[in-house]
């Protein structure tokens, strides 16, 4: 997929105010500070399309970007931010769950995982909720450039084994790096293929 245009459209915390047309959309979500904004900027080849911050929990709204005027990339707030109350963490912030439950035009969610870390309970719990709720998702391992190849392979394999303790099969996954564009073509081509199967949306 060639990115001809990538434009910010809107931010809000009310799912009812999200775009009304039926363009397919893909949600990007992950634990705070997983490198989501950097990954989005890398995919779109735009330096500041998604706002990056050294402060975890910066994204607190549903952010819609219109890509090639034909599909939406949706930047969702990070879950598990330390300053969020335990009750908020448990529901993964109400408007996040509302988004996944009500946005029928969402084709797929991408759950971002920091490949440097051992499996984190908050990530596993979130994916468990996704599975129980029947919400389709794939995994994106981020920050692959931070590890040597053998360590990267070892960490990913460990994650797969952890997932297989509770899942019948490992969800499809991608390995990415915002620094050296690892995984960019693979991920965008995958979205392109999914868009082709969705068909022409009704406006």
Which residues of the chain fall short of a pLDDT of 70? 52-59, 80-93, 199-203
For 116, the token pair is 């440097």
Stated length of the chain: 203
Closest listed residue to residue 12, CA positions, set 62, 51, 80, 78: 62
Q: What pLDDT does 55 receive?
A: 47
Closest listed residue to residue 186, CA positions, set 178, 196, 195, 175: 175
Q: What pLDDT does 32 receive?
A: 80
Domain boundaries, the chain: 6-198
Q: What fold characterizes domain 6-198?
A: Rossmann fold (3.40.50)
For 174, the token pair is 């991608």
Q: Please name the residue ranges forming H helices in the chain.
A: 36-44, 86-90, 94-102, 121-132, 149-163, 184-198
CA distance 203 to 70: 11
For 163, the token pair is 């997932």
For 71, the token pair is 């599909």
Q: Is 80 helix (H, G, I), strand (E, B) or coil?
A: coil
Closest listed residue to residue 198, CA positions, set 79, 108, 117: 108
Sheet holding 137-142, edge to edge: 6-12, 62-67, 71-75, 25-30, 106-114, 137-142, 173-175
Q: What pLDDT does 203 receive?
A: 38
For 131, the token pair is 């599975």
């Amino acid at each position: 997929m060639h990115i001809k245009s990538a434009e910010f459209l809107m931010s809000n915390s009310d799912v009812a105010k999200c775009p009304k047309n039926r363009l397919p959309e893909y949600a990007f979500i992950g634990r705070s500070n997983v490198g989501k904004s950097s990954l989005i900027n890398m995919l779109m080849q735009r330096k500041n399309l998604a706002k990056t911050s050294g402060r975890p929990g910066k994204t607190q709204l549903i952010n819609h970007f219109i890509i090639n005027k034909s599909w939406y990339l949706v930047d969702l707030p990070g879950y598990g931010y330390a300053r969020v109350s335990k009750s908020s963490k448990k529901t993964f912030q109400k408007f996040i769950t509302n988004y996944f439950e009500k946005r029928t035009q969402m084709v797929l969610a991408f759950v971002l995982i920091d490949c440097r870390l051992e499996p984190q309970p908050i990530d596993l719990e979130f994916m468990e909720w996704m599975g129980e709720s029947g919400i389709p998702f794939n995994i994106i391992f981020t920050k692959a450039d931070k590890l040597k190849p053998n360590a990267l392979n070892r960490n990913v394999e460990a994650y797969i084994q952890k997932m297989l303790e509770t899942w019948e099969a490992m969800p499809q996954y991608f390995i990415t790096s915002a620094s050296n564009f690892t995984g960019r073509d693979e991920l965008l081509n995958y979205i392109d293929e999914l868009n082709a199967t969705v068909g022409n949306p009704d406006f």
